[in-house]
A = this chain, B = another copy of it.
């Protein structure tokens, strides 16, 4: 199973050698998209010139092999509250793209300046599924969830300090959201959010 879906290697708990070896093996045995998350650049450096068109995403620390990606369809909207949520949102976007999603983005629209969000209602209404990454108070998914009638995937990020507890504050905010239709993933889990959004985006029309 899992055909048509990207293979993903989580590189954080592995040595560079282990990551490289696993990624090369996956590149050989399969023909679909491949991704290494939380990968230091050194992983990419070792992969260059080994016969595959790996790319490296500096912001999200991703090693990506874009092959066998379905024609982009549907509409996934990726939204962030602030600049520092960028890398996590990017991880989500790339994941969704590898799953065949057309991905739009709307960044820096946190709730403390509501006009930034309300100026893009059309973009919000056009999406089939929305990913929202937010740290600090994590209030953005609640507001967006109240505006739309499509699934919202909420990613709490570890952006913040003090009583933020490395993302626990926005995690709790999102789990307790007053708006319905919100699914939450682990803190900083851009991959998980992108994957779930990708499934939802393609799932409807088999």
Contacts and interface: CB of A to CB of B under 8 A. Distances in A.
Interface string A20-39: 00100000000000000000
B182 A176 contact: no
Contact of A199 (B82, B84, B151): B151
Contacts of A129: 203
Contacts of A160: 176
A170 B173 CA distance: 7
A167 B176 CA distance: 10
Contact of A163 (B145, B182, B187, B200): B187
A97 to B, nearest CB: 15
A51 interface: no
B178 A112 contact: yes
A185 B175 contact: yes
Interface in A146-173: 146-147, 149-151, 153, 156, 158-173
Interface of A: 1-2, 5, 8, 12-14, 18, 22, 81-84, 110-114, 128-129, 135-139, 142-143, 145-147, 149-151, 153, 156, 158-189, 191-192, 195-196, 199-200, 203-206
